[in-house]
């Protein structure tokens, strides 16, 4: 798979007329550090610049009727970054939620988190929980932030819960459906489309179980430069795929 070249992006109305719109889009927001390095500024500037790209992706989803947008916001591996950068990222997360909550509320976006929320500092966790509570009644679109997230840890957590359930109820069925019911995304459809920016060709421990049959779209565009037209191009590419889910035509 090679990074997708950006052609003319179709309009939302063209996309809705030409084919199915993905219900669930997941995004690996990559390239903030490289964006900053190319400009000779601190890495945190790249993360801050990526805030506009998040807004653009949300607006594109609202225009197209995408039901769920999952953003790979902070991985468990990210805790190993320099302390100053991690602290800056947490402060940026808190500030962004406080400043964007009104826009999300007006747009009727429901907020959720997948990952080990308990890993966050109490003051950060409090802001995230408060935002989720305020937006919990909305149903137009669901925005999921993957925070302190690891695909492997998610599967381990689900397996532990499944083992505990089987011990309490020996007759309980242990199969793929049962394990999926204990994932952080339990009850939600798997991503139809995964977008990765910056041209990297890896999953980076993101939604390992859920993306088994997702379509992938990779672009060389760094996340801070990602705009609605790129999102529309990804959806157009998705609409041209023949999704067989392992079956023979």
Q: Find out whether 52 and 224 touch, Cβ atoms under 8 Å.
A: yes
User: Considering the entire predicted model, what is its pTM?
Assistant: 0.93
The pLDDT tens digits for 8-26 are 789 999 999 999 999 999 9
Is 225 an annotated catalytic residue? no
Sheet containing 215-218: which strands, arranged edge to edge? 109-114, 141-149, 68-75, 24-28, 193-196, 215-218
Residue 53: Cβ within 10 Å count = 25
Helix (H, G, I), strand (E, B) or coil at 147: strand
Please tell me which residue in 30, 32, 190, 192 is annotated as part of the active site: 30
Q: What is the pLDDT of residues 161-176, one digit of tens each?
A: 999 998 898 888 889 9
The domains of the chain, with CATH numbers, are 23-150+190-238 (3.40.1180.10)
Question: What pLDDT score does 247 carry?
Answer: 67
Q: Which of 32, 78, 192, 242 is catalytic?
A: 78
- What is the CB-side half-sphere exposure of residue 51 using CA atoms within 13 A? 13
- 105 catalytic per annotation: no
- Over the stretch 218-231, which tens digit does the pLDDT of each residue have? 999 999 999 999 99
pLDDT tens for 110-130 read: 999 999 999 999 999 999 999
């Amino acid at each position: 798979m090679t990074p997708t070249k950006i052609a003319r992006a179709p309009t939302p109305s063209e996309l809705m007329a030409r084919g199915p719109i993905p219900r669930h889009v997941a995004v690996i927001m990559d390239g903030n550090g490289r964006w900053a390095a190319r400009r000779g500024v601190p890495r945190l500037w790249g993360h801050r610049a990526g805030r506009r790209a998040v807004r653009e992706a949300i607006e594109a989803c609202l225009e197209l009727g995408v039901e769920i947008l999952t953003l790979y916001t902070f991985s468990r591996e990210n805790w190993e970054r320099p302390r100053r950068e991690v602290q800056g990222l947490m402060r940026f997360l808190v500030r962004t939620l406080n400043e964007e909550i009104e826009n999300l509320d007006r747009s009727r976006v429901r907020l959720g988190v997948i990952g080990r929320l308990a890993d966050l500092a109490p003051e950060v966790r409090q802001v995230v929980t408060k935002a989720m509570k305020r937006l919990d009644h909305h149903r137009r679109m669901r925005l999921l932030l993957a925070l302190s997230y690891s695909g492997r840890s998610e599967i381990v957590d689900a397996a532990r819960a499944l083992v505990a359930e089987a011990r309490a109820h020996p007759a309980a069925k242990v199969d793929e459906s049962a394990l999926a019911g204990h994932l952080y995304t339990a009850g939600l459809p798997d991503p139809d489309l995964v977008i990765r920016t910056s041209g990297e060709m890896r999953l980076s421990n993101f939604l390992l179980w859920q993306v088994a049959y997702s379509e992938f779209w990779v672009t060389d565009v760094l996340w801070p430069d990602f705009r609605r037209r790129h999102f529309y191009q990804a959806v157009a590419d998705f609409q041209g795929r023949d999704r067989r889910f392992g079956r023979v035509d």
